[in-house]
Amino acid sequence: MTFQEQIQQGIPSVLPKPKPYETDINHAPKRKEILSTEEKKLALRNALRYFEPQHHTELIKEFSEELETYGRIYMYRLRPDYKMYARPITEYPGKCEQAKAIMLMIQNNLDYAVAQHPHELITYGGNGAVFQNWAQYLLTMQYLSEMTDEQTLTMYSGHPMGLFPSHKEAPRVVVTNGMVIPNYSKPDDWEKMNALGVSQYGQMTAGSYMYIGPQGIVHGTTITVLNGFRKIKRSPKGGLFVTSGLGGMSGAQPKAGNIAGCITVCAEVNPKITHIRHSQGWINEVIDDVDKLVKRVALAQANNEIVSIGYLGNVVDVWEKFDEENIHIDLGSDQTSLHNPWAGGYYPADISFEEANIMMADNPELFKIKVQETLRRHTTAINKHTAKGTYFFDYGNAFLLEASRAGADIMAENHIDFRYPSYVQDIMGPMCFDYGFGPFRWVCASGKPEDLAKTDLIACQVLEEMAKTAPEEIQQQMQDNIHWIKGAQENKLVVGSQARILYADAEGRVKIAEAFNQAIAKGEIGTVVLGRDHHDVSGTDSPYRETSNIYDGSRFTADMAIQNVIGDSFRGATWVSIHNGGGVGWGEVINGGFGMVLDGSKEASKRLASMLFWDVNNGISRRSWARNEGALFAIKRAMETQPLLKVTIPNIVADNLLDF
């Protein structure tokens, strides 16, 4: 069968033969035993409902073994034989260009060069899944190949509920992930529902088909590192940034450190992912001996080098050893998947990676104890460095939250706030999000590198023209973004699809998108898919990350994210998504995303102007109502440019009136 025929057949009527378990692939760790005997039977019933009854006898034993061995039913047998990657849009079967673009984006999320655990359909973050099993993937791709522009596909946590009649201006796909009743949002609730096959953790851009590899966070990480050094009034040159995590999004850190111009040490316990990042050029060197690491870093500091070093080992050893040897750390953070601390997101010290994986599945209570012991050690070592002048910030991965739950010395003197800020509180919130700057993305659906190069040039020209008249308040952001896009090609950021990320405000996003659409209409480039990271101005309500610099008491509300997705859906998005969970954990965040296909048409031009303006200004308005100074400036400026926009502005109460 051709690739197109395989897509169109969906779940095959004749079952493929079982596939061997490929040990050279980076697999998800075994999930802990959480289902009762009756619940295991229910999980099997749920899995088998994808198949005709004549196949049940053959599959039930196999699926039962998967559940026992891996803690989940992945249906490995149904994994396609064709190579998984984002093909040019013309190679996908279908009746609808928008649906073909979505198929392209789904396959990019599962590309072996992109996905963290491709055989388990997990893109990043240890549990950020595109689908729960391979039957869902096959059925979804089949539906998309049949879809017309008068239908909408509804996705329930990876399950394609079906194609429903709609209309041309409606979203082609509406995605929900993990949207459970609030009282059932504890980590073990996810473990159970995911094992039953009824819910999944979509992370942010995994379950919404908008992941573009580590590049997706490189720009934001670069801005964070640059502004971190600016905050401590030190040049990045010769400065040391210490962090950990080389998996999905965290793998961007060493590349960002190189772009910012500092020395980066990034620890990682997983040998496979460490060597993958090294082979991809995302880290310059790999060292597995902490004494050798000390000597190498001291040399780099003495020579003011720009270098990224992957330390194959536990980051706690780095913090402790650097303290003993008086290696000064300028910036410190952590980007392990601490939203998922008990299932592979964070590993205990003094235990090998292999032993920890066994303990995680076979003795989860002991594993939890060891993780929390390590968090306390980790925090103690960080505190010693900050006493010497290190600037440490939480990177939005729930480090501070989980350290506090472990009883670490992480609280401020008031015993209410954390000792250290979230990077959104200190850097990204006041410097970017409040002004509307966030991670705008695009993918060249032709798959041609030359199309990506043309879009880079177009975006740069738009930004340089805007910078001529931009107000002083956002000149730094504009110049950082121009510098970024000019260096995008030489920094070799592409992994998987021909994609780019660029921090831009609403005006920039609309103008860049319109310039792309005009170039498509002229035949200069092919179809372009727009999107963004959910880690943005408006899409995500997350009290310990995206909305951590909201101080009016509304940090724990999620109106903004829900309004964002509803508003995007009727303003022209090609697909929309809303998730429970993200980088800080299940039950800790609600986040929404979108995708938009530009085809050069007048309709696309109208949609992009309407949707992108709302997608950003929804968040700015919420931030301005919280009395954030930058957001007040930004929303007033937006109202001057758009007469149909009228936002409620807060009245500021004098501090002395509250002293009674």
How crowded is the C-beta side of 317, counted as CA atoms within 13 Å? 21
Task: Give the CATH fold of the 430-645 domain.
Answer: Urocanase fold (3.40.1770)
Lowest mean pLDDT among 41-45, 334-338, 367-371: 334-338
Share of the chain above pLDDT 90, in %: 85
Residue 250: its pLDDT value, please?
73
| Dist CA 285 CA 557 (whole Å) | 43
How crowded is the C-beta side of 465, counted as CA atoms within 13 Å? 11
Residue 527: its pLDDT value, please?
98
| Dist CA 355 CA 333 (whole Å) | 26
3-state secondary structure of 392: strand
Q: Predicted confidence band at 415 (pLDDT cuts at 50, 70, 90)?
A: confident
Residues of the chain with CATH 3.40.50.10730: 214-421
Residue 248: its pLDDT value, please?
66
Alpha helices in 10-90 (DSSP H): 37-48, 56-70
107 labelled ligand-binding: no
281 labelled ligand-binding: no
Do 596 and 173 meet the contact criterion of CB atoms below 8 Å apart? no
Residue corresponding to tokens 């984006």: 105
| Per-residue pLDDT tens over the stretch 110-147 | 999 899 999 999 998 888 999 999 999 999 999 999 99
Compute CA 181 distance to the chain's CA centroid, rounded to the nearest angstrom: 23
Q: Is the pLDDT reported for residue 101 higher than 80?
A: yes
Lowest mean pLDDT among 209-213, 450-454, 519-523: 209-213
70 labelled ligand-binding: no
What mean pLDDT comes out for the span 628-646? 97
158 labelled ligand-binding: no
Reply yes or no on domain 3-196 having CATH 3.40.1770.10. Answer: yes
Which residues have C-beta within 8 Å of that of residue 46, sequence separation ≥ 6?
Answer: 196, 197, 198
Do 576 and 593 meet the contact criterion of CB atoms below 8 Å apart? yes
Q: Predicted confidence band at 249 (pLDDT cuts at 50, 70, 90)?
A: low
3-state secondary structure of 117: strand
Q: Is the pLDDT reported for residue 645 higher than 90?
A: yes
202 labelled ligand-binding: no
- Choose from 110-114, 226-230, 336-340, 511-515 the range with maximum mean pLDDT: 511-515
Do 124 and 345 meet the contact criterion of CB atoms below 8 Å apart? no
Lowest mean pLDDT among 2-16, 108-122, 216-230, 286-300: 216-230
Task: Report which DSSP code applies to 428.
Answer: I
Q: Is the pLDDT reported for residue 585 higher than 90?
A: no
Residue 225: its pLDDT value, please?
93
Which helix (H) or strand (E) segment holds residue 83: the answer is none
Residue corresponding to tokens 């300028």: 330
Q: For residue 475, what are its two tokens?
A: 């000149």
Residue 491: its pLDDT value, please?
80
| Per-residue pLDDT tens over the stretch 463-505 | 999 999 999 999 999 999 998 999 888 888 888 899 999 999 9
583 labelled ligand-binding: yes
What are the distances in angstroms from CA 309 to CA 60, 489, 636? 47, 22, 45
Nearest to 257 by CA among 197, 316, 202, 217: 217
| Dist CA 104 CA 525 (whole Å) | 17
| Per-residue pLDDT tens over the stretch 216-247 | 788 888 989 999 999 999 999 999 999 999 97
Q: For residue 595, what are its two tokens?
A: 């995708």
Query: What is the pairing mode between strands 438-444 and 528-532?
Result: antiparallel
Do 40 and 71 meet the contact criterion of CB atoms below 8 Å apart? no
3-state secondary structure of 470: coil
- Which amino acid is it at 627? R
Nearest to 158 by CA among 119, 111, 209: 209
| Dist CA 437 CA 470 (whole Å) | 13
What are the distances in angstroms from CA 503 to CA 196, 438, 498, 598, 611? 39, 5, 17, 19, 17
Q: At what angle do helices 475-486 and 449-467 cross, to 10 degrees?
A: 160
Q: Is the pLDDT reported for residue 562 higher than 80?
A: yes
Lowest mean pLDDT among 264-268, 321-325, 484-488: 484-488
| Dist CA 190 CA 486 (whole Å) | 42
Q: What are the strands, taking DSSP E only, across 69-214?
A: 122-124, 128-129, 151-156, 159-165, 173-177
Q: For residue 312, what are its two tokens?
A: 């194959």
Residues of the chain with CATH 3.40.1770.10: 3-196, 430-645
Which residues have C-beta within 8 Å of that of residue 15, sequence separation ≥ 6?
Answer: 51, 55, 58, 59, 77
| Mean pLDDT estimate for the chain | 95
Do 342 and 402 meet the contact criterion of CB atoms below 8 Å apart? no
Do 97 and 145 meet the contact criterion of CB atoms below 8 Å apart? no
Task: Give the CATH fold of the 214-421 domain.
Answer: Rossmann fold (3.40.50)
Angle made by CA atoms 179, 181, 184, in degrees to the nearest 5: 105
| Dist CA 131 CA 155 (whole Å) | 10
How crowded is the C-beta side of 513, counted as CA atoms within 13 Å? 33
